[in-house]
């Protein structure tokens, strides 16, 4: 199904002007094999501004836009992102033990929306995810989150290690939720300032991010499948933190 026109803009000049005027874009999609001075100008602009982009077959663009897209479609951000430094400092000024969740490679929009919904219900102070490889915050994500993404502070970063360093310097423990951990989820003290890291179902948490975590925790499994949907796993971890903090 094609996306609603209110959620994207298309055409070389409109997208270029949108970037120049500071419109918040989720990502830019180019037709494979693009060439020309206008294309190179736009590519330089989105690279300078840290906007994710990808190349797709022209059939993909044709399925989104029924018009002269000129080989480029830009998805508009559905929320206002918050700088992670501002998010962390504000939370620290309001409570003794803030709680954040970082998503490393969680790319499925509906999983992300479900995590955001649980996070808002659990009183999480903010969500941090990478600009590249993370789920797009589009209309589907907002809908799946039941509107939570319009209420909970969210930051997108070029590299997850940047906010992790900031959190560590600010006195947070960083807990990696991974089935490879020796310690159980129930052995972790969630009463102190905490950042929880969830990885993708396929690859888990990347080694460079895992190296910065101060603790690792697994969810005990009694069945034979041995794994959970990432949104379900996030809910279990977050509500153990809620249980301990009550």
Do 104 and 164 reside in the same domain of the chain? yes
Average pLDDT of span 193-221: 94
The pLDDT value recorded for residue 6 is: 53
Average pLDDT of span 9-21: 91
pLDDT tops 80 at residue 244: yes
pLDDT tops 90 at residue 99: yes
Encode burial over 55-83: b for 16+ CB neighbours within 10 A, e otherwise.
Answer: eeeeeebeebbeeebbbbbbbebbbebbe
Query: How many independent structural domains does the chain possess?
Result: 2
Domain enclosing residue 53, as ranges: 5-76
The pLDDT value recorded for residue 233 is: 96
Do 141 and 214 reside in the same domain of the chain? yes
More confidently predicted of 80 and 59? 59
The pLDDT value recorded for residue 2 is: 39
CA dist 159 and 171 (Å) reads 20
The per-residue pLDDT of the chain, averaged, comes to 90
pLDDT tops 70 at residue 205: yes
Do 133 and 237 reside in the same domain of the chain? yes
Do 71 and 126 reside in the same domain of the chain? no
CA dist 215 and 120 (Å) reads 23
Residue 14 sits in a domain of what CATH number? 3.30.1330.30
Do 119 and 221 reside in the same domain of the chain? yes
Do 100 and 142 reside in the same domain of the chain? yes
pLDDT tops 90 at residue 171: yes
Global pTM reads: 0.80
Do 167 and 199 reside in the same domain of the chain? yes
Strands 8-10, 72-76: pairing kind: antiparallel
Do 64 and 109 reside in the same domain of the chain? no
The pLDDT value recorded for residue 4 is: 43
Do 123 and 204 reside in the same domain of the chain? yes
Residues 117-139 pLDDT 10s: 999 999 999 999 998 888 877 77
């Amino acid at each position: 199904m094609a996306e609603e026109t209110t959620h994207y803009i298309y055409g070389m000049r409109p997208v270029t002007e949108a970037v120049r005027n500071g419109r918040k874009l989720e990502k830019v999609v180019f037709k494979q094999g693009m060439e020309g001075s206008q294309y190179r100008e736009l590519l330089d602009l989105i690279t300078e501004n840290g906007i994710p982009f990808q190349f797709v077959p022209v059939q993909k663009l044709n399925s989104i836009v029924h018009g002269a897209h000129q080989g480029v479609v830009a998805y508009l951000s559905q929320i206002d992102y918050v700088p992670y430094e501002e998010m962390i400092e504000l939370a620290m000024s309001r409570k003794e033990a803030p709680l954040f969740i970082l998503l490393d490679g969680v790319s499925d929009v509906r999983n992300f929306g479900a995590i955001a919904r649980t996070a808002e219900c659990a009183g999480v102070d903010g969500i941090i995810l990478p600009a590249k490889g993370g789920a797009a915050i589009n209309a589907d994500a907002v809908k799946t989150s039941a509107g939570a993404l319009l209420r909970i502070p969210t930051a997108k970063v070029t590299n997850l290690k940047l906010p992790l360093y900031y959190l560590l310097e600010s006195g947070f423990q960083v807990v990696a939720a991974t089935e490879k951990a020796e310690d159980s989820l129930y052995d972790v003290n969630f009463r102190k300032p905490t950042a929880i890291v969830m990885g993708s179902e396929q690859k888990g948490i990347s080694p460079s991010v895992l190296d910065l975590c101060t603790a690792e925790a697994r969810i005990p499994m009694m069945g034979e499948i041995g794994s959970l949907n990432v949104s379900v796993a996030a809910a279990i971890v977050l509500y153990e933190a809620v249980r301990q903090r009550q």
